[in-house]
Amino acid sequence: MPSFPRPAAVRCPPGWAVVASVVTLAAGLRAAAVGRWAGEVAVDVDMYRSLAANLLDGAGYVSPETGTATAFRPPLVPLIYAALGNLHWAILLFQILAGAATAGLTVQLARVLGLNWLGAMLAGAVVACDPILLRYTPRPMTEVTAALLTVALLCRACRVADGSRDRQGARWRGSEDHVIALPDGRGSRGGAALTGVLFGLSALCRPTVWAFGGLWALGWIWDRLRGRAGWRLGWGRLALGAVGVALIVGPWAARNWIVFERPILMTTHGGYTLHLANNEVFYEEIVRGPAGAVWGGGSLSTWQQRTEGAFAVESGVDVRTVRNARFWFPPSVGWRGPSQDIPITQLRAESWSRTSLLQLGPQGWQRAPRPEADWARLTWVDTTGLGLSRDVQVESGPQWFFSPEAEPRRDRWHRDRALEVIQSDPAGFARAVPLRVSRLWSPTPQGPAAEGLPAPVWGAVGGWNVVVFLLAAAGAVRVWRSDRWAAWRPVLLMVVSVTAVHAVYWSNARMRGPIVPAIAVLAAAGACGKRLRGEGETTETEPAPGVGSFGREGNS
């Protein structure tokens, strides 16, 4: 069986030179990307910068659209941007440095996994040159930060223990190759907590890491069911790791419990992404549509508007528009502020212009809200297309619809609608799964990401990714057959977990950004082949008791 011992006999550049060259390459390419697309830092597609602005203004973690408390987006990136003052240059500098650090840590991850410096340099170069991480460096999104946290977590999860001993003090044969102390080489208890902290930070950046945590826990149990570790061992460091996770994720869950009356560990975004990937329109136009079809444009916007309207109607909300509302509430002289939420009784008691009342129908205002409505939201809208907000949109319905409580209810509504579609059309779901996986692992840009991209660049990106993917597949086979497979297990689980999540939820190539370091080390293992083996082979042994846990079992 192939093995990956520490290759002391292979002549490679000094470690500092490899790390420095990879970090310099990554920083230079990212600086070039920032220079090319610097203006995109102001394009706040996912509202992370708007959330940061609300934090800086003292409004709290509230939605830029409704002004109410939100958990729609994970909080780590907005908190980082707020700490940077939400300044363009500071965010761009952070993105460059985070990308360079990701490449440097990938070199360290490769060394932890037993690759020599040549393989480590190749892994770092793959991350430094990755098209997705480069393209999203100027954008205020989560890919760059998530990739950094992922490689840091994997460095802790895969670190090989040097000098492991069993409970009687005898040295394990082959321990340099097989015993994993996830926190660090000595299996320290502080390192176990740090592993939990890194996991928690990853969860507050990209909640999909919880799937990796679930598979990791199953691996921990599997080792014990197979007799590779005792059930009484390892609980101390496992508990410390859990404490680390709780210290980071706990405040977020507690805040959500206070605001939404439920301890939301992740976000209120999951139901929407599940529904986005599993609905009648997507199945009909994309899954059963022509090959290569991409959902977007008018069809997607229409679906979003229709589903939001359906949720409002099922919640007992009525939406009307009052034309030329020059005299409105509050104040009657011409309020022009943001949306106003008021009790329906107060709204009915206000003085209305005769024109506005007549436009609501012969019975005046009493016809606008539903009888059970007890709250209303007033929003100035522009129906002229001239930039003049002279009309007012009136949404009336139950008070919870205009409170933070509406967000988790909307999330559950989307989830339930998606499950209904899956149950009613299992054949469509079965066809959608491989389609979503293919979109996640698409080597070439698709849809809006490919718009305006020159054909040579499009082909170069595709060619680069095809080579990396083929090498990574070969590397996965090698490590699976290697006597060091246990050390690589967190890397494999990370790739499998992300793929499994996006086989069901919405997916595109951007979603694989956080696992680029994992792909890179697998590609390096596949590319370097026998040159990584050094002079000798180690004796094949069973995985040591520490495999898959938060630390070395024998000391807990």
Domain ranges of the chain: 15-166+184-276+407-527
* Residue among 417, 131, 450, 434 at smallest CA distance from 294: 450
pLDDT category, 454, cuts 50, 70, 90?
Answer: confident
Task: Give the global pTM.
Answer: 0.82
Residue partners of 546: CB distance under 8 A and separation at least 6:
161, 164, 179, 180, 181, 182, 187, 229, 234, 552, 553, 554
Please name every residue paired with 378 in a beta bridge, in sequence order, or none if there are none: 340, 394
State pLDDT tens for residues 32-48: 999 999 999 999 999 99
Which pLDDT belongs to residue 318?
76
Higher pLDDT, 38 or 337: 38
| pLDDT greater than 60 at residue 439 | yes
Which pLDDT belongs to residue 231?
62
| pLDDT greater than 60 at residue 207 | yes
Q: Indicate the residue type of 215.
A: L
| pLDDT greater than 80 at residue 345 | no
Query: By the 8 A CB rule, do 127 and 520 touch?
Result: yes
Q: How far is CA 398 from the centre of its chain?
A: 33
| pLDDT greater than 90 at residue 280 | yes
**Token pair 């409580």: residue:** 405
Residue 343 dihedral angles phi and psi, to the nearest 5°: -65, 145
Of 122-131, 216-225, 327-336, the range with the lowest mean pLDDT is: 327-336
How is the chain split among helix, strand and coil, in percent rounded to 5? 60, 5, 35
| pLDDT greater than 70 at residue 52 | yes
Of 17-31, 406-420, 474-488, the range with the lowest mean pLDDT is: 474-488
Which pLDDT belongs to residue 215?
92
Residue partners of 415: CB distance under 8 A and separation at least 6:
270, 271, 274, 275
Average pLDDT over residues 46-73: 92
Cα separations in angstroms, 385 against 38, 337, 382, 388, 390: 30, 19, 6, 7, 11
Interatomic CA distance for residues 388 and 393, integer angstroms: 14
Paired tokens of 132: 């997705």
Which pLDDT belongs to residue 15?
77
480, containing H or E segment: helix 455-481
Residues belonging to the chain: 556
Which pLDDT belongs to residue 324?
59
- ∠ CA 129-436-515, nearest 5°, is 35
Residue 322 dihedral angles phi and psi, to the nearest 5°: -100, 125
Which pLDDT belongs to residue 357?
39
Paired tokens of 198: 């890194």
Which pLDDT belongs to residue 544?
36
Average pLDDT, the chain: 79
